[in-house]
Amino acid sequence: MTILDGKKVSNDIKNEIKAEVDKMKANGEKVPHLAAVIVGNDGASLTYVGSKVRACERVGFESTMVRLSNTTSEVELLDKIDELNNNPDIDGFIIQLPLPDQIDTQKVLMAVHPDKDVDGFHPMNFGKMALDMSTFIPATPFGILELLDRYNVDTKGKHTVVIGRSHIVGRPMSILMGRKGFPGNSTVTLTHSHTKNITQITSQADIIISALGVPNFLKAEMVKDDAVIIDVGITRVPDDTKERGYRITGDVDFENVSKKASHITPVPGGVGPMTIAMLLKNTLLARERHRKSNKN
């Protein structure tokens, strides 16, 4: 059994990115600049955005965190997005999700200029992804592809079962695994809350990608021998033995499923760190594209 070590691979990727940034600096070029907008005080969201800002520092990117109050109106957020779209110093930015109820998420994501949409959430970029055109691939799915690639996991002709159809993980993952090329060329089944007899489906899977957010959902009985297991779940569960009062748990019953799996991602230390590394990769790509188009 092989652990797909997202922590290690994400560090490798960050070192590769840092080497690129060092070259930019040596050439007197502008370094990539990522901005992250966070609306409200959700603890998990603040933690993630904090990790993104730290990751930027680590690779030598500029970063800007924009904090808006929980009562921010949709218009105020759209104004902020307009400002970021028009700021030539910002190469890419993200709007951390989820947003408060008074704000229409889809409308907001459509306001981000596609060239700065390093999350790959704009319909233009999502469409390009589905059509195999060059674009920003959403960071979590991109990270999973990169992990499969770096561990040489064979995906061609395999049956991939994706659990969960969210716009940021399950849906794009189902498209990417079925695309031509590597990692891809899988036969994909996308399962969700209306799927009947899910065990019958997961039991046939060569690769399972679970993005549900239900701790211990995927049990050993649902998995065939030598399956590849990718756990995207990150649920905080209260834990008094931990200094911060909680631990994070994936969708997979790791202890038992790992005994049957050929490859498996841990939580923490699997897909989560990869997400951050690929956001940096997308920001680097955005900078390179802007340099080519603006010559600055």
Ligand X SMILES: Nc1nc(=O)c2c([nH]1)NC[C@@H]1CN(c3ccc(C(=O)N[C@@H](CCC(=O)O)C(=O)O)cc3)C=[N+]21
Q: Is 261 in the site for ligand X (CB under 6 A)?
A: no
CB nearer to ligand X: pick between 4 and 267: 267
Q: Is 282 in the site for ligand X (CB under 6 A)?
A: no
**To the nearest whole angstrom, how small is the minimum distance from the Cβ of residue 279 to ligand X?**
6
Q: Mark 181-200 with x for binding to ligand X (rule: CB under 6 A) and - for no binding.
A: --------------------
Question: Site for ligand X (CB under 6 A): how many residues?
Answer: 18
Site for ligand X in 89-148 (CB under 6 A): 94-97, 119, 139
Rounded to whole angstroms, the maximal C-alpha distance in the chain is 59
Establish whether 58 is an annotated binding residue: no
Q: Other C-beta atoms within 10 Å of 215: how many?
A: 17
Using the rule CB under 6 A, which residue among 92, 164, 233, 272 binds ligand X?
A: 272
CB nearer to ligand X: pick between 158 and 285: 285
Q: In the bound complex, which residue of the shown chain has the CB atom lying closest to ligand X? A: 272
Q: Is 248 in the site for ligand X (CB under 6 A)?
A: yes
Q: Other C-beta atoms within 10 Å of 15: how many?
A: 11
Q: Is 47 in the site for ligand X (CB under 6 A)?
A: yes
Q: Which residues pair with 1 in a beta bridge?
A: none
Count of CA atoms in the C-beta half-sphere (13 A) of 1: 16
Q: Which residues pair with 231 in a beta bridge?
A: 210
CB nearer to ligand X: pick between 183 and 266: 266
Catalytic residues: 52, 96, 119
**To the nearest whole angstrom, how small is the minimum distance from the Cβ of residue 278 to ligand X?**
9
CB nearer to ligand X: pick between 167 and 192: 167
* 68 and 83 Cβ atoms separated by less than 8 Å: no
Q: Which residues pair with 65 in a beta bridge?
A: 36
Measured CA to CA, the distance from residue 275 to residue 263 in angstroms comes to 19
**Is the bond preceding residue 98 a cis peptide, omega within 30 degrees?**
yes
Helices assigned H by DSSP within the chain: 6-26, 43-59, 74-86, 105-111, 123-130, 139-150, 170-178, 198-202, 254-257, 271-294
Q: What is the DSSP string of 100-131?
A: PTTS-HHHHHHHS-GGGBTT--SHHHHHHHHT
Establish whether 69 is an annotated binding residue: no
CB nearer to ligand X: pick between 94 and 148: 94
Establish whether 166 is an annotated binding residue: yes
Q: Is 166 in the site for ligand X (CB under 6 A)?
A: no
Which of 40, 66, 41, 36 lies closest to 51, judged by CA? 36
Using the rule CB under 6 A, which residue among 205, 208, 234, 252 binds ligand X?
A: 234
Stretch that binds ligand X, among 23-31, 73-81, 158-166, 263-271 (CB under 6 A): 263-271
Q: Which parts of this chain interact with ligand X (CB under 6 A)?
A: 47-48, 51, 94-97, 119, 139, 234, 248, 267-269, 272-273, 275-276
Binding annotation for NADP(+) = 164-166, 234
